[in-house]
Amino acid sequence: MSWLQPLALLLVAGILGYTAYSTRRIVRQRPDLLLPHQAVNRLVLARACAFVGALVLGGYLGYALSWVGDEAELADERIWRSVAASFAGLLIVITALLLERACRVGSDDAEP
């Protein structure tokens, strides 16, 4: 495993974070700019990324734990890279949930 996998996962988390930020800003300031199909697409993206991020988190964390206590030369390096990838998976889950929350719009039926 190289450092490319954790960096790619961090890139995905960054893109999701930016999308969550811009979606939240659009929904708060000008909700008419976000078309309904765009909001649904972003919601589906958020749900899928949250699921995959959780799988990545668990997979890489399990891989890191499998190397704990091993006498191999590269065991420590693999542990650190796997922990970094699992942290990036956690960031993907968090940013995906933020994007999901940013897709919420107010109700048309305002209560008095």
The pLDDT value recorded for residue 75 is: 86
- Using DSSP's 3-state secondary structure scheme, residue 71 falls into coil
Tokens of 7: 């960096």
Given a contact cutoff of 8 angstroms between Cβ atoms, the answer to whether 19 and 42 are in contact is yes
- Measured CA to CA, the distance from residue 36 to residue 27 in angstroms comes to 11
Helix, strand, coil percent content, the chain, rounded in steps of 5: 80, 0, 20
Q: Which residues of the chain have pLDDT under 70?
A: 106-112
Establish if 26 belongs to a structural domain: yes
Establish if 110 belongs to a structural domain: no
- Block residue for tokens 């893109």: 15
Establish if 45 belongs to a structural domain: yes
Total structural domains in the chain?
1
Given a contact cutoff of 8 angstroms between Cβ atoms, the answer to whether 25 and 101 are in contact is no
Note down the domain range covering 58.
Answer: 4-102
The percentage of the chain sitting over the pLDDT mark of 90, rounded to a whole number, equals 72
The pLDDT value recorded for residue 71 is: 82
pLDDT, one tens digit per residue, over 64-91 is: 999 998 888 888 899 999 999 999 999 9
